[in-house]
Structure 1
Amino acid sequence: MSAPRGQFSSNIGFLMAAAGSAVGLGNIWGFPTKAASNGGAAFVVVYLVLAFLLAYPALMAELTIGRHARSNMVQALRGISTGPISRLFGSLAGFGGILVASLILSFYAIVAGWMVAYLADPFASLLGADGAAAWLTGNSVGRNLTFTAIFSGMTMLIIAAGVEKGIERWSTLLMPSLIILLLLLIVYVLTQPGATTGLEVYLMPDFSQFSPKLLISAMGQAFFSLSLGVGTMLIYGSYLSQQESLPRLGALVTLIDVGIAFTAGLLILPAMYVAQEAGTQIFSAGGELIAGPDLILQVLPALFDTMGTAGLFVAIAFFALMVIASLTSSISMLEVPVAFSIENLGVQRRLATPLVGLVIFAISSVIIINFDTLFGLVVSISTEYGQPLLGVALCIFAGWIWRRDQLLAELQKGHPGIEKSLFWKIWPWYVRIVCPLLILAAFAQSVL
């Protein structure tokens, strides 16, 4: 028999878990540099608008389906299907979500392992272990396998403890810690020479750069930053009480996510220009601001090195921030295949978690050993193709396949009178037509 399903014990627990899923490495290193490269505040304004025009409606589709079905992605989509063809479509989309979530976690755990290694590096330096410090920051197969295993083990320990004692408890501890560290680092960086230039680049709008490219880039960032399309929010929705108002909770999750993404920009962009002031190169050969892993593993560590002993403690705080952001996202991704194993295969959570976790770690190991060939390919397949297409599928289920009376009945739980609200007048047709078109536009731009 399968283990009983868990449930979030409070609104705060759900909000911290859902926001933690959304706030990951992409928010912290991706959003600020995209903003700086696309007109600064012009991009920020467009992103904030699109977060509610695209991401929020799609998030509501996942939360509503999840709470109604109270099951994993496969069973949830099959449960709201109305015939054999839609049930087959539901099975394909459900298994696709499990596969894509697992693939994302397989490369995400590698990058998160780098963050753990770089967190350990300042401690090695403080102890005078220069050889260990060099190994920790060197890109070797042994280092990558070791720290991917450590990070994967941390994720598995949290998921094995269940919804309330694992996901909720740790999200409620980690998310406030992330916010406190982020604010402390912002205060410190803004006192350094060059920080004002970074703030100007980030906050001063350059509307001359407004273009379809900026619009599509902001649209993609808004959608992907909320962990949509792979069933993480659907699973978290399935653990929600029926007394909660889904539109209000969805709006709060969106606000927290965009708020932290914006706040991260107040750290990353000033820090980059502080690094430039200290003599570090922050622009690529093509003239664009360096982003992604190169930003985190080259530009900012070079900045910390110029700070002397103080830089070691700043590095500890920064990489602790990155590890926390990684962990809050990874637990939501691992929960997707684990929930399926518990509910469809009848495996107990404490057994399902290590079994699924080890399979994903095995995929990570294959990627590490064949890094140059597989890493970019897995990232592309899962995030550029899998995630947006699954996002469209979930919108189709919420807007076209699920019976309208059942959809309304689910939304009325915890929100009496919603049928008279502006939300109900707009959202059903919006998620049916506008959201799929917007997601497909972002998908076409990223692929072509």
Structure 2
Amino acid sequence: MSVARESWGTRIGFIMAAAGSAVGLGNIWKFPYVAGENGGGAFLLIYIGCIVLFGLSIVMAELLVGRMAQRTPVAAFREVAGRGWSLVGGMGVVTAFIILSFYIVVGGWTIAYMLYTVDGALASTDSASLERVFTELTGGTWMPLVYAAVFMALVAGVVLGGVGKGIERAAKLLMPLLFVILLVLVARSVTLPGAGEGIAFYLTPDFSRVSGETFTAAIGQAFFSLSLGMGAMLTYGSYMPRDHNLPADATAVVVLDTLIAILAGFMVLPAMFAAGMEPGSGGAGTTFMVLPAVFDAMPGGPIFGFSFFLLLTVAALTSAVSLLETVVCYFVDEYGASRRGATAGSALVCFLIGIPASLSFGLMSDVKIFGRTFFNLLDFLSSSITLPLGGLLTALCVGWALGPRAIRAIGNDGRIAVPWAGVWLFVLRFVAPIGIGWILIQGLFF
């Protein structure tokens, strides 16, 4: 039995919440080092092209399915395209659950590092010392779980408030805070001695470094940075009033997400050049094992270090909220569960699954499933299989199963002019499936 459905109170509230869902750790820590590994300015241009071509199209598709049905992902696909398509929605809910189970572990690390900047544990430019701090944290048994539990509690607290009083209110507070912190850090980074070389690297395209791997990285980064294929955008779209200008709102979300990723590049790459470090050095460990050394070398380093890890925590929180809401929405809509019960139960089960994910770096590091630790298995299942597969099937559903109906619905049955709707449908039918299919093949076989 269904219950009365909530909706966004304001257009800006929806845009902030949806942008918060899209903006996550991938924007802040992953984008800069991927850009550094793939030629700086050349990668930036290709990435923006992929966002315009793939990202915006699928964001619109997911939001449209949600708004048309005003239901959870499972029911939404079933209602707009037929019973067989409900499996796509079910996969989205499961994917959101899987990702949240290991995402809270990383979110806990960001909280820990905020505290570390306060107590001086990161006051070092020695890479071996910083690596030791990171491995002691992640390899611990109890403290990482405590931080993960705190992070999970923050996420659940927001979702308990519901769409208007919880998610929308939090997004209106957290997203401006994220922007302010990011702009302050960018201003500090670009004014460091020697930062000019990093700015030039970031803005000057070097196409000699472009290869097939560059395009693969750009497509993958564009796709994953927008939280596609996990039911989050569809769920948020289901709370969207039918008279909203969906193309305009989707464009605003994508622009905000892309802007934050680009600003993150200005924050990280100039600082790394100023510190004499190679762009892209450290890989994913840049956040926890390289950047603390950069901050320590700055005047006022602890302040900027704390601000950076606060920024990461906010970005992780806004994304995690959308993941938990996707799961909670399913139980509330499909089974008539109370929001309180669905939130508490989902958060508890996610945390329990997060325990072996956290212990994968320490006590259970030798436990392998299909050759991967539990954490890496969850990451592989979501990022390499269910996310791209969900995005691919969403594109095919809207492009082919809905077809002309999608064009009418995106324009509110003619009330909004969308002159490029035909191009959008063409992208969903042909272009997006090719790009996403390539990501899927790369993730499975390379």
User: TM-score if structure 1 supplies the norm length?
Assistant: 0.90
Q: Provide, for residues 117-144 of structure 1, a one-character-per-residue CA deviation record: whole Å limited to 9, x for no partner.
A: 1111233349x9xxxxx79973312111
Match of 1:305 in 2: 296
Partners of 2:407 and 2:242 in 1: how far apart? Answer: 13
- The residue that corresponds to 1:328 in the other structure is 318
CA contact (8 A) 2:408 2:414 kept: no
* Separation (CA, whole Å) in 2 of partners of 1:353 and 1:331: 11
Structure 1 residue 324, shift from structure 2 partner: 0.5
Using a 3 Å threshold, how does the CA distance of structure 1 residues 213 and 305 change in structure 2: closer, same or farther? same
TM value normalised by structure 2: 0.90
1:109 aligned partner:
104
Rounded to whole Å, the distance in 1 between the matches of 2:71 and 2:304 is 43
Deviations 1:381-427 (A, max 9, x none): 1111110001111112111223633x344223286153xx4322212
Of 290, 296, 301, the residue aligned with 2:287 is 296
CA distance in 2, matches of 1:214, 1:136: 30
Identity %: 38
Task: Pick the aligned partner of 1:437 from 418, 429, 434.
Answer: 434
State the alpha-carbon separation in 1 of the partners of residues 416 and 330 from structure 2.
34
Please identify, of 422-431 and 384-393, the stretch whose mean Cα deviation from structure 2 is larger: 422-431
Residues 137-163 of structure 1, C-alpha deviation per residue, up to 9 Å, x if partnerless?
A: 733121110000000000000001000
Q: Which residue of 2 aligns with 1:99?
A: 94
Q: Does 1:316 align with 2:311?
A: no
Deviation at 1:358, TM superposition (A): 0.6
Q: 2:44, 2:135 → 1: CA distance?
A: 35
Cα gap change, 1:414 to 1:81, in 2 (>3 Å): closer
Inter-partner Cα distance in structure 2 for 1:69 and 1:364 = 32
After superposition, give the CA deviation of every residue in 1:34-85 in whole Å (9 maximum; x if it has no partner): 1122121111111111101111111111011000010111000111234xxx
Output the amino acid matched with 2:411: Q
CA contact (8 A) 1:135 1:143 kept: no
The CA RMSD over aligned residues, in Å, is 2.1
SS at match of 1:357: helix
For structure 1, list consecutive stretches of 5 or more residues without a partner in the other structure.
Answer: 129-133
Distance 1:137 1:181, change over 3 A: farther
Could you tell me which residue of structure 2 aligns to residue 272 of structure 1? Answer: 272
**Equivalent residue number for residue 382 of structure 1:** 382
Q: Distance in 1 between matches of 2:322 and 2:59?
A: 15
- 2:197 corresponds to: 197
Structure 2 CA distance for aligned equivalents of residues 265 and 246 of structure 1: 29
Structure 1 equivalent of residue 155 of structure 2:
155
1:21–1:227 contact (8 Å) kept in structure 2: yes
Secondary structure of residue in 2 paired with 1:80: helix
Match of 1:131 in 2: none
Structure 1 segments of 4+ aligned residues over 6 angstroms from their partners: 134-137
Contact 2:407 2:425 (8 Å CA) reproduced: no
How far is the alpha carbon of 1:5 from its aligned partner? 1.6
Deviates more, 1:139-148 or 1:426-435: 426-435
The answer for the alignment partner of 1:244 in structure 2 is 244
TM-fit CA distance, 1:188 = 1.4
Instruction: Tell me the amino acid that sits aligned with residue 281 of structure 2.
Output: L
Deviations 1:176-226 (A, max 9, x none): 110100111111122222322221221121011222221121111111111
- Structure 1 residues 415 and 189: alpha-carbon distance in aligned structure 2, compared to 1, 3 A threshold: farther
Q: Secondary structure at the match of 1:138?
A: helix
1:167 is matched with which residue?
167
CA gap of 1:270–1:415, structure 2 versus 1, over 3 A, is farther
Output the CA distance in 1 between the equivalents of 2:93 and 2:307: 33
Tell me, yes or no, if the aligned pair for 2:107 and 2:313 is still in contact at 8 Å. yes
